[in-house]
Structure 1
Amino acid sequence: MIALRLAEIAAAVGGELRLPDTGATAQDRVDGPVTTDSRELVAGGVFVAKRGEFDDGHRFVPAAVDAGAALLIVEEGQPVDVPQIVVDDSVDALGRLATEVVARVRALGRLRIVGVTGSNGKTTTKNLLRTVLERVGETVAARKSFNNEVGAPITMLELTESTEFLVAEMGASGVGEIARLIRMARPDVGIVLKVGLAHAGEFGGIEQTVRAKSEMVTELLDTDVAVLNADDPRVAPMAELTRARVVRFGLGDAADVRASGIRVHARGTEFTVTVPGGESATVAFGVLGEHHIMNALAAIAAARELGVPLADIVSALESVTLAEHGRMEVLGGRDDITVINDAYNASPDSMSAALKTLAQVKRDGARTFAVLGEMSELGEFSGDEHDRIGLLAVRLGISQLVVVGSGARRLHISAINEGSWDGESAFVETQDEAFELVTAQARPGDTILVKSSNSAGLRHLGDRLGEWFS
């Protein structure tokens, strides 16, 4: 975090500064990192005691003090000899502090901000943009999927006075949440990737999901740029909702940044990208899965708007071989057996895309395994969407479907009803059972996909299979 006086922080968050009887003053400066996790605190850092659904951060104040916290932001005063600011709502205070820091760095005239949202692909696109932009200047981007009312401001607070680019991943589980994040750090470039059924249960329906994601573009100014998915029928109309200049990406003729000549293989994807003005380049993209091309196109469009030459963008993208641990991560190798661990998260769109990729990379004469778990947070759509994935697996000719856990059982039943009645679909309750089944049946040359929502925990099964076949 940029250096701020204790009095300045208290004013920014609207809290009461309480100083210990140790000689500390309101003019003392703090510039350490900000965290809500006492285990991550470093000496000189700021600890924000957040109340959660299952725990209370105030319980960990002693641990934060022992770790060398220079400041506490709390909702009730603590009996410790460390400066503390008492606020009504610590999460709100965290957002207020992020807003202040972003504004101060903005005022220096160097910082450019990219906001990324969508039902799928946020983390991958953010990582691709970070790889491109950090070659140009100091870049801050979210760790993991820090994209909510806590994670996003913590990322913003990593800014320094020399930061040139902030890539802010902006997620939401309800209307108004993206708008709130944008008020903390209004993007110069706002990206909307896709609007699908991911988290539709939390939003209360697809219409509410569209409304929430469109906040990315309705909040932009006429001097900003909206980067929109031209191929998504829910995203493309957002061009009518924004004052910003619109740049479209996709595979169709309506796209300004367009991919063609796509070739998918077991170790990545190749395509030709064409940008406004007719310039084109071939991209040897090491991230597996045709669906990740859309994320790459979004990153290309945004980076060009920030002044990065196409050749430099392509060079950076070609250096990326993994979007994120557990996202189309290629493992294995023994006996030419490939394990694709894509169980970081799952939605109907990403599940479909992963299955299609599995079918595309199948080796001649070999088999494909799809080890699938539950897609969570789908609400009323859950049953129908698990049915649809079961049907798709059969229609794509997946050799062996392994469904793990009761939450995904309907997927297995739908596959059987579609025609997988001779053991092509198996249901197991536990990851151990799935591991034993796959390791017993896999043969040289086979390809194994592991896919589920993060809550189902199959990412650990994917790692375990990858290590077994390494």
Structure 2
Amino acid sequence: MTAPLYSIADILAATGGTTRLDPATRIDSVSIDSRELGPNALFVAIKGDRFDGHDFVETALTNGAVAALVSRGEGAQRIVVPDALEGMRDIARAARERSRAIVVGVTGSVGKTTTKEAIRVVFEAAGQTHASIKSFNNHWGVPLMLARFPEAAQFGVFEMGMSGPDEIRPLARLVRPHIAVITTIAPAHLEAFGSLDGIARAKAEIFAGLEAGGTAVLNADHPQLAVLLDEARAAGVANIVTYGEGRGVDWQITDVELLADRSFATIEHDGVRHALVLNVPGRHMIANATAALAVAHLAGIEAAVALRALAGFGAQPGRGQRTLLGPADKPLLLIDESYNANTASMTAALDVFAAQAAPGGRKMVILGDMLELGPQSGSLHASLASAVVASGAERIYLVGKEMAALAAALGPTRVAGHTQGAADMADIVLDDLAYGDAVMIKGSNGVGLAGIVDKIRKRFEGN
């Protein structure tokens, strides 16, 4: 039998809580969702924007949780603390304190989740690995992921996100990474910062949690590199590793070759050239994989092991995942980029789509608003026009009020349809799509384009 994640005694020691439970009771999982409970689960009743976990404690216990961490209520299976979310943070701190794993923190405007996944794949080829799931990267997601950190794990990789200043710093101090990766700086959440330099400084908050002697791994292919370097030095970061396509970086990307479904590149480091092959298309995917190569090297993993692992790496749902639906001789190609969007990721996705031929029909794009861009939103949306045209899309559908600026820039003859909401667009697109078409769907998560993705899957798969 594997070692328990915690005992009740461990939880009490970490949180200072009180309970009537047997201190020897075993805890093997931690959850904040009463519907998704692992074995011997501890349910944490955090209060969110829409729901209060305390309303679901009885459901969680009925569904099999062995204990609930709560800040109010009575019952034999409750552990009472002043604040349940802070209690979960206490558990996260205890999990990090006991760990002897090599820990990596990942942030950036674009590519956080994909880079985290690339690092995870490489780490898993070398030893027991624990990684953030989905995009659990905020004030509750990071402590939840840390609270699930097994003591025996050899590697840990955690994603950190933000929508405003002073959000990454406390997360980084929880994670305490040995290696801090910043993927790139782009106009995401621009309205909260006012400038790209402001975004860069907020991302650089990750250095506040970097362990003594730790290393910053920085994408060098953006104008805010100098800001990140200044912030790293100000934070006392002595070890800085850079990667990108520019000259003078530590891990240089050269000889890039992009096909419709694969990518090739040469990665040069310390005079040694490595052949990188990816099972996904895109220059940005090569950059994400190069970050993973650099991290693997710092973690003592041989390049051959990392390259072999990356060769099987695939895009994630909502982040470029490609699916063929329907008959093999004339399928519908669905490219799901529905999770996030800013000008950098939108341009990158359109660039990849430009190299993609339709299986036997037309090329179509469904583009949703890029949210939280502030006063520059109109001009930033309009700036996508050339990339949209260059993508070769024969049918262009736009969703959201901010996309009015792109619609104007493209002109009425190019835009097949424009709606304010995703629900209104779904039926329009479903009536137009046919087997043989290639369709790419991309927008900010808040626009709800994932609903269109789901409807396309249900309509076209299995026929």
Q: TM-score, normalised by structure 2?
A: 0.89
- Superposed, which structure 2 residues align to 1:399-410 within 5 Å? 399-410=394-405
The 10-residue stretch of structure 1 (240-249 or 217-226) with the greater mean CA deviation from structure 2 = 217-226
- Superposed, which structure 2 residues align to 1:255-294 within 5 Å? 255-276=249-270, 278-294=271-287
1:110-164 Cα shifts (integer Å, max 9, x gaps): x110110001111101111111111111000011111112111211122223210
Aligned amino acid, residue 14 of structure 2? A
Aligned amino acid, residue 79 of structure 1? E
- Superposed, which structure 2 residues align to 1:9-28 within 5 Å? 9-13=11-15, 15-19=16-20, 24-25=21-22, 27-28=23-24
Hey, what does 1:116 align to over in structure 2? 106
- Superposed, which structure 2 residues align to 1:185-200 within 5 Å? 185-200=175-190
Hey, what does 2:128 align to over in structure 1? 138
CA contact (8 A) 1:289 1:328 kept: no
Distance in 2, Cα, partners of 1:235 & 1:448: 34
CA contact (8 A) 1:222 1:245 kept: no
Aligned amino acid, residue 104 of structure 1? R
2:318 to 302, 321, 326: 326
CA contact (8 A) 1:406 1:429 kept: yes
SS of 2:350's partner is: helix
Hey, what does 1:308 align to over in structure 2? 301
Distance in 2, Cα, partners of 1:457 & 1:380: 22
1:299-329 Cα shifts (integer Å, max 9, x gaps): 1110111111111111100111x22112111
Mark the runs of 5 or more structure 1 residues left unpaired by the alignment.
Answer: none
1:248 to 242, 245, 250: 242
Percent of pairs with identical residues:
32
Distance in 1, Cα, partners of 2:423 & 2:105: 40
- Superposed, which structure 2 residues align to 1:18-97 within 5 Å? 18-19=19-20, 24-25=21-22, 27-76=23-72, 78-87=73-82, 89-97=83-91
Q: Does structure 1 residue 460 correspond to structure 2 residue 451?
A: yes
Mark the runs of 5 or more structure 2 residues left unpaired by the alignment.
Answer: none
CA contact (8 A) 1:99 1:183 kept: no
Displacement, 1:445?
5.9
SS of 1:341's partner is: strand
Displacement, 1:283?
2.1
CA contact (8 A) 1:193 1:235 kept: no
Aligned length: 452
Hey, what does 1:376 align to over in structure 2? 371
Distance in 2, Cα, partners of 1:64 & 1:445: 46
Hey, what does 1:394 align to over in structure 2? 389
2:137 to 139, 144, 147: 147
Q: Does structure 1 residue 298 correspond to structure 2 residue 282?
A: no
What do you get for the CA RMSD once the two structures are aligned? Answer: 2.6
CA contact (8 A) 2:177 2:211 kept: no
Change (3 A) 1:433 1:170: closer
Distance in 1, Cα, partners of 2:32 & 2:432: 45
Distance in 2, Cα, partners of 1:4 & 1:435: 46
2:345 to 346, 350, 354: 350
Change (3 A) 1:130 1:3: closer
Distance in 2, Cα, partners of 1:167 & 1:195: 20
CA contact (8 A) 1:412 1:425 kept: no
Aligned amino acid, residue 369 of structure 1? M
Change (3 A) 1:433 1:38: closer
Change (3 A) 1:386 1:31: same
Distance in 2, Cα, partners of 1:465 & 1:149: 33
Q: Does structure 1 residue 167 correspond to structure 2 residue 157?
A: yes
Distance in 2, Cα, partners of 1:407 & 1:183: 36
Distance in 2, Cα, partners of 1:460 & 1:30: 39
Distance in 1, Cα, partners of 2:55 & 2:85: 16
Displacement, 1:424?
4.3
The 10-residue stretch of structure 1 (373-382 or 303-312) with the greater mean CA deviation from structure 2 = 373-382
